[in-house]
Amino acid sequence: MANHLYDALFAPNETNDAPFLRLKNGDILSFSSFLKITAQFANLLGDSGLVAGDRLVVQVHKSPQALAIYAACVRAGIIFLPLNTAYTPAEVDYFVSDSGASMLLCDGSSVDVLSPVAARNKIEIRTLNGDGSGTFAQAAAGKSDRFVTIDRDGDDLAALLYTSGTTGRSKGAMLSHDNLLSNARTLTGCWQFSNRDVLLHALPIFHTHGLFVAVNVCLLSGASMVFLPGFNTDDVVKFIPASTVMMGVPTFYTRLLDDQRFSGELTKKMRLFISGSAPLLAETHSAFEQRTGHYILERYGMTETNMNTSNPYDGERRAGTVGPPLPGVDVRIVDAQTATAIPLGEVGIIEVHGPNVFKGYWHMPEKTTEEFRDDGFFITGDLGRIDADGYVHIVGRQKDLIISGGFNVYPKELELILDDVDGVAESAVIGVPHGDFGEAVVGIIVKTPDSRVDEADLLNAIDTSIARFKRPKKLVFVDQLPRNTMGKVQKNLLREQFADCLQ
Ligand code: AMP
């Protein structure tokens, strides 16, 4: 056998001395040097007792070494489980115990708060800092830079990416070697990546967008990346003239448009700007075209499915749409209530099928069965329609998800915490339009009679339980929540009523 993903993405680059990562400080790491680090890391993981199929939880800052952990896991057959750096110890504890991880890798600054988590789960904890130092890197430095790659086939799992659950419980999406490889091949072809490309990489690498879409496409095509620690307008403006492609969330593009230095002249060597993870406003698309002459290419995907649709590279990039299905991916729209086919052009639930679609939720067979049709289509929970030219339009999210600055916030998770506070009768959490973040979180609260609870009490309860990016930008107190005849809270009415509450 062989290693399905490693052999295609990484192995061909073992002897490639061309630049792979171009860092902010001017340092350059070649593909071959990067792969030597991954071999040392894979050796250390093996020597620490991890074997193929084990899970490694990684909550570290973005760095070349953090990326090398992903590659080390692939070559050692270990299942990579990256986490948002904003998750609290309580959240990390859930991911560690639910996944049954064998090791926790964290930033040195969180080792004190995460050591009890590791102890409770009886696993080893090691550190990897944003500058590449830490106990993991130190121990790996003494290891061999050659590693005998572990056999894995296309159906073996490469990664477990947790998506927040609408019921408050996060689910681990099982992504196989072939889910990742098939999508990387498709995207590399559709977006015409080659080894002449330099991708400006300012996305986080704990999410499918910055990790799999961006990195796998570069590995497959031999392209290099300007690998920035995060998004910062000054850095992006500085490095754009040295890049050919950028991938971003819509917030990146609105922020760039807010800066007068961002111009057609600055972007003249760029061949492609790609947007995804949240809706790109048609206004942003046209403002971008007017300023730079570039039409942003919008695509649509999700953690569970990798990428599903993309506007064309050659051909019309239609604002407000996510383009036609990618080659090899079937997309259909069904009636939200009856799950039956509906006429072309009507709005329904988007369902997808293809080699990109994940293997199910970790240890949740019932949930997996619920979210797949008998014929293998995955029910995305997104509402959309397909126009006469085959372009998919996303019109909403049945699952009630809020996407703020590219990060997902599930209202239910916050509502559970708010409802738990003394003096709160009930709550509804909604997303409202926000110029910078796309959507911002707003909590609508109904107090119990005579309650003296105030905004500070509620924000305090939230701050101690969940990541900061989920914190509401505003809390509004109302007498009652609007409900339909079935007793369901009508969030659409709340969204309309409070659409301007942050202006
Ligand atoms: P995630 O699993 O974090 O990647 O979030 C996936 C969700 O993001 C999808 O189910 C969509 O609701 C949303 N999404 C991703 N790309 C787009 C897009 N281009 N336009 C609108 N929504 C998007």
277 CA from centroid of ligand 1 (Å)? 4
Contacts 24+ apart (CB under 8 A), 391-396: 391/311, 391/318, 391/321, 391/322, 391/323, 391/324, 392/300, 392/308, 392/309, 392/321, 392/322, 392/323, 392/324, 392/325, 392/331, 392/350, 393/320, 393/321, 393/322, 394/279, 394/300, 394/322, 394/350, 395/347
The CB of 298 under 6 Å from ligand 1? The reply is yes
pTM given for the model: 0.86
Q: Which two tokens stand for residue 356?
A: 């990109």
Return the ligand 1 atom nearest residue 163 CA: 2
What pLDDT does 178 receive? 98
The CB of 349 under 6 Å from ligand 1? The reply is no
What pLDDT does 488 receive? 57
Helical segments of 240-319, H only: 250-257, 282-292
The CB of 279 under 6 Å from ligand 1? The reply is yes
Return the ligand 1 atom nearest residue 208 CA: 4
What pLDDT does 272 receive? 98
Instruction: Report which secondary-structure segment, H or E, holds 332.
Output: strand 330-334
The CB of 276 under 6 Å from ligand 1? The reply is yes
The CB of 43 under 6 Å from ligand 1? The reply is no
What pLDDT does 164 receive? 58
What pLDDT does 324 receive? 98
- Measure the CA–CA gap between 31 and 67, rounded to whole angstroms: 12
What pLDDT does 167 receive? 46
The CB of 173 under 6 Å from ligand 1? The reply is no
* Average pLDDT for runs of 10 along the chain of length 503: 95 97 98 98 98 98 98 98 93 96 98 98 98 98 97 98 68 98 98 98 95 98 97 97 96 93 97 92 91 98 97 96 98 87 91 98 96 96 93 81 82 86 92 91 94 93 87 94 66 91 87
Return the ligand 1 atom nearest residue 401 CA: 12
Instruction: Report which secondary-structure segment, H or E, holds 298.
Output: strand 297-302
